[in-house]
Structure 1
Amino acid sequence: MSNFQELIKNFSKTREYVRDFFVYGFKTRNEFMDKSPRTYDNERRRLESWLGPFVQKDYVSGGFNISLAIDSNLLDFNPLFRVWKTKSFTDNDIVLHFLILDLLQDGRSLTAEEITDCLLTEYEAFFDIQTVRRKCNAYQKEGLLNKEKKGKTVLFFLDNTLARWLKSNETVMDALAFYQMAGCFGVIGNEILEQLEQSNRSFRVKHSFFVHTLEDEILLALFDAMNRRFTVELEIKSSKKGLVNTANCTPLQIFVSSRSGRRFLCGYVSKSKRFTCFRLDTIKHAVSLEPSPEYEDLQNKLERNRRQLWGVSFQGTERHHLDVLTMTLQVEEPGELYIVDRLKREGRGGDVTRIAENTWQYRREAFDCNEMLPWIRTFTGRILSLECTAKSVEQRFYHDLQTMYQMYQIGEHTNGTVF
């Protein structure tokens, strides 16, 4: 039996477990049905090792539930950044990492052959030239080393100019501290601060969505494809059924919910000839395919279509590309005109019209009027009528009201009365 290792090779599996513990939590060992009990034990132990102070155990009859209790309002960094700093390595990897960086600290420019010789003479460490060259090229690709070519000679060197400038500039420390609390790639700011032995002493974020840092690896691949205007192949795992499928699309924009922090990729799917939004937390892998010749045209088309979006859904009914929702409200004037102000402020471009004394109407076109229902329900008690060209939306609204009436044992209501 292999020994337990805290470090990991495959981040995607760990991402799912950390998300489960953080977002859902309150699951016992037997309730994790997708993986074996041994896998669950390993992931739980990793979680406790990385995030010990934030792990909460609740003992129940079937064992105990594991969850993560993290209050962003009280913390000066995102604890989930630690999950990104646990990649496994071989003995040669870690030895070469420190020796090569130490060797080049003085600013020397050396070839792979010279680095190999210096490792032997200065550190008594023997490595194959090809191994050293592969490591140097990998570090150059990741930005740890610089590379220049003089004739047929390839030289590697370490540029510490930025590090020295950062250390001497205190205002940059505040910028890094602020950046690490940002929504995208904050782990970069956190890593630089730790390398410079600094910390965030200035900023707290009242509503920060820590869990979404787990998607940054996918987000980086999508940004790269968008920057190069490439199509991508997505491997998507359904959040409801757990099924895995693939989809090809042209990635165009990232939508972020201001309420939940949830992020979506908006892309154009050629197969269905329409825009579609994919939740980032359901995307397991994203691979760039080929350049998209119509990228700019699709961006312009998306900008026009965004005016008819309520949330992130472009899926209208089969009969109508766009549906129209009309809501009639009872508003006592002048004492309740703040309701009218709210309609104008929150209605996302909908038309607000006074049609009679104490009666106002709200009208909005949208691709998917289903997305409007949670907001519509906040006006319950004032709604005189609700109509929609997508009859399923209208029926759902009245059905939900009837269910509520039955639940609270309220008499039946019909159209024309205040809901």
Structure 2
Amino acid sequence: MSDFHELIKSFPKTRDYVRDFFVYGFKTRNDFKEKSPRTYDNERRRLESWLAPYVRKDYAPGGSSISLAIDSSLLDTNPLFRVWKTKSFTDNDIVLHFLILDLLQDGRPRTLGEITDSLLTQYEALFDIQTVRRKCNAYEKEGLLIKTKSGKTVLFSLDNSLARWLGSNRQVLDACSFFQMAGHFGIIGNELSQQFDHENRSFRVKHSFFVHTLEDEILLELLNAMNQHKAVRMDLRSSRHGTVSTAECVPLQIFISTRSGRRFLCGYLRMSRRFSCFRLDALKHVALLETAEDYGPLLDKLTQNRPSLWGVSFQGGGGRRLESLSMTLQVIEPGEGYIVDRLKREGRGGSVTKVGEHVYRYETHAFDCNEMLPWVRTFTGRILSLECSSKLVEQRFYRDLQTMYRMYDI
């Protein structure tokens, strides 16, 4: 049996387990059926190693379940950033990392031959020049080294510009502290703060959605595609069935729920010639495709359609026509005028009309009125009637009411 290693090679697999432990903490070992029990044990031990102060173990008849108990309002950083900082490496990887960076600290550019010779003479470390070349080229792509040419000679030097700038602008580190709590790519602010031993003593976020940092790798690829106006191919995992499918679209915008923090990609599907939204936590992999020549017109069309979105769904009416909803309510005036204010404030452009004494009608059009039902139910007890062009929405509303009546013996 192989030994357990805290370091990881496949981040997507670890991301799924961390999300399951964080969101679905009631699962026991037997509930993870897609992977072997041994895989579950390894991921659980990694989680306990990274996030020990926040791990909670509950006992149930089916076995113990692991969950994460994190109160964002009490923390100065996102504990899940630790997941990004753990990656497998070889002995040569870690040795070369420190030796090359230490060698180039003086700021003097060197050729690959000079770097290889200096590693041997100064550190007694013998490496093949091809190994050093691969490492230096990789670090140049990541922004750690600067690659320049003097004639035919290639020189590498350490890029210390950011360190010098941050070192002379300590107030910028406060901005980094704020940025790490902002929600998107906060790991960057966290890394910069830690490199300069700067602690966040100023900022706390009452409602922060820590778990969504696990999607930042996917989000970065999507933003790159948008910036380059390219289509993408995505691997999507169904949260309901666990199956993986493939879809191609032109990514246009990222939508973010103010209630749950959940992020969605809104893109255009050429096969079905309509817009659609995909949850970022359902995307497993993103690959860039060809440039979308009609990117601008598609974005303009989405901008025109957005006022008719209630949430993120374009599916109602087949995605090609709007649905209408009309809700009649009883509002006892003047004491319940706040109900009318709510309709106007939260109705997202719908009309509010007084049709009788203590009776108001709210009317709106949307792509998918099914998304409105959670909001509509908040007016239960005041609703006199509800009509919708989608009879399925209407039937669901009245069916839910009947279920509630049976539950409470009404």
Q: Structure 1-normalised TM-score? A: 0.96
Counterpart mapping for 1:138-149 below 5 A: 138-149=138-149
CA positional deviation for 1:218: 0.5
In percent, how many aligned pairs have the same letter? 72
The whole-number CA distance in structure 2 between the counterparts of 1:149 and 1:389 is 68
Partner of 2:247: 247
Do structure 1's residue 70 and structure 2's residue 75 form an aligned pair? no
Partner of 1:206: 206
Partner of 2:405: 405
User: Partner of 2:154: helix, strand, or coil?
Assistant: strand
Do structure 1's residue 376 and structure 2's residue 368 form an aligned pair? no
The whole-number CA distance in structure 1 between the counterparts of 2:150 and 2:373 is 65
Which amino acid in 2 is paired with 1:351? S
The whole-number CA distance in structure 1 between the counterparts of 2:306 and 2:390 is 19
The whole-number CA distance in structure 1 between the counterparts of 2:59 and 2:357 is 59
Which amino acid in 1 is paired with 2:347? G
Pair 1:320–1:252, CA change in 2 (3 A): closer
The whole-number CA distance in structure 1 between the counterparts of 2:26 and 2:338 is 41
The whole-number CA distance in structure 2 between the counterparts of 1:44 and 1:167 is 39
The whole-number CA distance in structure 1 between the counterparts of 2:89 and 2:229 is 34
Counterpart mapping for 1:79-90 below 5 A: 79-90=79-90
C-alpha distance after superposition, 1:144-183 (max 9, x if no partner): 1111122212111112122122123221111000000011
The whole-number CA distance in structure 2 between the counterparts of 1:199 and 1:103 is 29
Structure 1 runs (4+) greater than 6 angstroms displaced: none
CA positional deviation for 1:319: 9.5
Do structure 1's residue 314 and structure 2's residue 324 form an aligned pair? no
The whole-number CA distance in structure 2 between the counterparts of 1:60 and 1:324 is 47
The whole-number CA distance in structure 2 between the counterparts of 1:293 and 1:165 is 40
Deviates more, 1:44-53 or 1:156-165: 156-165
Do structure 1's residue 356 and structure 2's residue 359 form an aligned pair? no
Partner of 1:187: 187
CA positional deviation for 1:3: 0.8
Which amino acid in 2 is paired with 1:255? F
CA positional deviation for 1:320: 6.4
Q: What is the root-mean-square deviation in Å for CA atoms of aligned residues?
A: 1.0
Which amino acid in 2 is paired with 1:178? F
The whole-number CA distance in structure 2 between the counterparts of 1:319 and 1:168 is 55
The whole-number CA distance in structure 1 between the counterparts of 2:246 and 2:343 is 40
User: Partner of 2:106: helix, strand, or coil?
Assistant: coil
Which amino acid in 2 is paired with 1:186? G
Answer yes or no: is the 8 Å Cα contact 2:143–2:159 preserved in 1.
no
Which amino acid in 2 is paired with 1:302? L
The whole-number CA distance in structure 2 between the counterparts of 1:325 and 1:155 is 67
Pair 1:228–1:297, CA change in 2 (3 A): same
Partner of 1:366: 366
Deviates more, 1:63-72 or 1:146-155: 146-155
Pair 1:320–1:128, CA change in 2 (3 A): closer
Partner of 1:413: none
Partner of 2:134: 134
Do structure 1's residue 30 and structure 2's residue 30 form an aligned pair? yes
Partner of 2:19: 19
User: Partner of 2:316: helix, strand, or coil?
Assistant: coil
C-alpha distance after superposition, 1:76-114 (max 9, x if no partner): 000000000011000111011001111111111111121
Counterpart mapping for 1:284-323 below 5 A: 284-318=284-318, 321-323=321-323
User: Partner of 2:261: helix, strand, or coil?
Assistant: coil
Counterpart mapping for 1:28-177 below 5 A: 28-177=28-177
CA positional deviation for 1:143: 0.9
Unaligned runs of 5+ in 1: 411-419
C-alpha distance after superposition, 1:235-293 (max 9, x if no partner): 00001010100000000100000000000000000001000000000000001011111
The whole-number CA distance in structure 2 between the counterparts of 1:319 and 1:360 is 30
The whole-number CA distance in structure 2 between the counterparts of 1:13 and 1:380 is 43
The whole-number CA distance in structure 2 between the counterparts of 1:213 and 1:65 is 23
How many pairs align? 410
Counterpart mapping for 1:210-225 below 5 A: 210-225=210-225
Partner of 1:228: 228
Unaligned runs of 5+ in 2: none
Answer yes or no: is the 8 Å Cα contact 2:274–2:319 preserved in 1.
no
Do structure 1's residue 337 and structure 2's residue 330 form an aligned pair? no
The whole-number CA distance in structure 2 between the counterparts of 1:170 and 1:344 is 46
User: Partner of 1:148: helix, strand, or coil?
Assistant: strand
User: Partner of 1:363: helix, strand, or coil?
Assistant: strand
